[in-house]
Amino acid sequence: MIIGFYIHHSTISAGGIFTYTIGILKEILKAKEVDKIIIITSKEVNDELKEFLSDSKLQLVNINRTDSIIKIKLYAYFLLVTFSIVLKKILPFKTLNETVTNFSNRINPYTKILLEKDISVFHVPVQYSPVYKIKIPVIITMHDLQEYYYPEFFSIKEKIHRRINNHIAILYSNHIIVSFKHVKEDIVKFFNVNTDKISICPPPFSESWFLSRNESGWEELSNNFELKKGYLLYPAATWRHKNHLTLIRVLKKLREQGNDVALVCTGNKTEYFRVIQSLIEELNLSKAVHFLGIVSEKDLIGLYKNSSLVVIPTLYEAGSGPLYEAMRYGIPVVCSKVTSLPETMGNSEFMFNPNNSEEILTRIKQGLYDEEFRKRNVQNSRDRMKDLEKNNYAECFLNTYKKLLS
């Protein structure tokens, strides 16, 4: 079996999606049924994949997305696919729609690569594939449909973009993978998709998704980022649903009660960061809140291991990579009781309502200062990790491939 595996060009700036992608790649590389994996990506990603390049199963194919002609072809492809969906609703003539689809695929630079490489299945571990409706089955991963729950968090442009692309992905892909049951239920609810088209394949939570096995020591971290021990850690891009504002207000209360605690945040600084920065300045917390942006994997691992508590106050999450990492490293962690997080944590004692500041404050104080709470928390993480290690993660993905090829 030859698997085409797409790695999105945004790499680590996409946050959890990139680390999820690496986690899946590690699993399917181990599978005996897989003879070869052809990674289709762009040059920006190459440096991130050095660990894998010596594997004989793996071949790397780059598409230069900065090339003007390729940009035009991809844009034209997107317009034609969008047009074909509209056309299908207005003029439901099969031959005409097939003509538009075939022409759009001929101009798509990904089509030629996929067909030339004798690929069995094209696995796209992000929401949108660069190509659909070709002779090879296309599998996408639908991570979330957050815009249906928090439309106010998206601009009109973002909502239109997500609505069109989600519709194309769900309608035109051959199969959809989700990590959790609630995402499958959302797809069925909002898009009226047959449940047989969707497989729930949990990502490999029991193993690290990071490429690096190295970690920065405390001396290096404290010098580079001017940090002191005893900090809270929240690794998350500054999207509105990540709920940084509430966490910062809680930190203010914590410090007003005489607790000398800092907050360290990592992850991509989106446009919404200016709103967060404004609140930090308003509350006079500039010396207590450290937004480090995207850090190297070895720095991030070091930040986890040297933190006093990981806090995840998110309002919505398909699945939380930081929660798994904290649990794996044995770092006390408290999190929101939303979507899949209760299933992961497995114990409500270590959770809170992300809209209730007092509840968050209580959990943070317990996580910092109650030694028995901290011990129970770490033991809970060990127990959950042992449970997760029993799962055969690759099997679900392989079964999905086989189902499409049968």
* 223 and 277 part of one domain: yes
Above 80 in pLDDT, residue 403? yes
Residue in the block written with tokens 């094209």: 122
Residue 212 lies in a domain: no
For 236, the token pair is 């998350």
Q: Is residue 211 part of a domain?
A: no
Please give the Cα distance from 184 to 197 (Å, whole number): 10
Please tell me whether residues 93 and 123 are part of one structural domain: yes
pLDDT band at 361 (very low <50, low <70, confident <90, very high): very high
| CA proximity to 25, closest of 61, 65, 57, 63 | 57
Using alpha carbons, select from 147, 185, 191, 195 the residue that is nearest to residue 169. 191
Residue 101 is part of a domain; what is its CATH number? 3.40.50.2000
Any domain includes 47: yes
- For 354, the token pair is 């992300």
Indicate if 300 and 371 belong to the same structural domain.
yes
Average of per-residue pLDDT values in the chain: 89
Q: Are strands 198-200 and 175-178 parallel, antiparallel or unpaired?
A: parallel
263-266 β-sheet, strand order: 289-291, 263-266, 232-235, 309-312, 333-336, 351-352
> Is residue 166 in some structural domain?
yes
* Residues across the chain: 406
Q: What is the DSSP string of 61-102?
A: EE--TTSHHHHHHHHHHHHHHHHHHHHHHH---HHHHHHHHH
CA–CA separation, 334 and 381 (whole Å): 11
Got the DSSP string for 210-225? -S------HHHHHHHH
pLDDT at residue 401 is higher than 80:
yes
d(CA 202, CA 181): 10
* Residues 282-301: tens digit of each pLDDT: 999 999 999 999 898 889 99
| CA triple 396-402-404, angle to 5 deg | 105
pLDDT, residue 16, reads 73
Residues 149 and 296 in one domain: no
**Dihedral angle, C-alpha 391, 393, 396, 398, nearest 10 °:** -140
The residue behind tokens 């086989």 is 402
Determine how many CB atoms are found less than 10 A away from the CB of residue 359: 16
pLDDT digit string, tens, across residues 160-203: 989 989 999 999 999 999 988 999 999 999 999 999 999 999 87
Q: Residue 9 pLDDT more than 90?
A: no
Is residue 145 in a domain?
yes
* DSSP β-bridge partners for residue 27: none
Cα torsion 132, 187, 318, 364 to 10°: value is: 160
Based on the fold, state whether residues 383 and 292 are members of the same structural domain: yes
Same domain, 186 and 295: no
Question: Residue 209 — very low, low, confident or very high, per pLDDT cuts 50/70/90?
Answer: low
Is the predicted pLDDT of residue 308 greater than 80, yes or no?
Answer: yes
**What's at 135, amino acid-wise?**
K
Looking at the fold, whether 121 and 242 belong to one and the same domain comes out as no
Q: 92 lies in a domain?
A: yes
Return the ∠ at Cα 178 (arms to 293 and 61), rounded to 5°: 65
266 and 374 inside one domain: yes
Task: Examine the domain organization and report whether 223 and 153 are in the same domain.
Answer: no
- Count of the separate structural domains present in the chain: 2
Alpha carbon 136 to chain centroid, angstroms: 25
| Strands of 205-331, DSSP E | 232-235, 263-266, 289-291, 309-312
User: Is 13's pLDDT higher than 60?
Assistant: no
193 residue type, one letter: V
Asked, for residue 300, whether it belongs to a domain, the answer is: yes
Domain ranges, residue 192? 2-206+391-405
Q: Is residue 213 part of a domain?
A: no
Q: Give CA–CA dist 385/85, Å, rounded.
A: 44
Look-up of token digits 């986690």: 23
Based on the fold, state whether residues 165 and 60 are members of the same structural domain.
yes
pTM of the model: 0.85
- Best CA proximity match to 364, nearest among 285, 272, 249: 249
Same domain, 323 and 242: yes
Could you tell me if 235 and 172 lie in one domain?
no
Q: d(Cα 289, Cα 322) in Å, to the nearest integer?
A: 19
Rounded distance between C-alpha atoms, residue 143 and residue 317, angstroms: 9
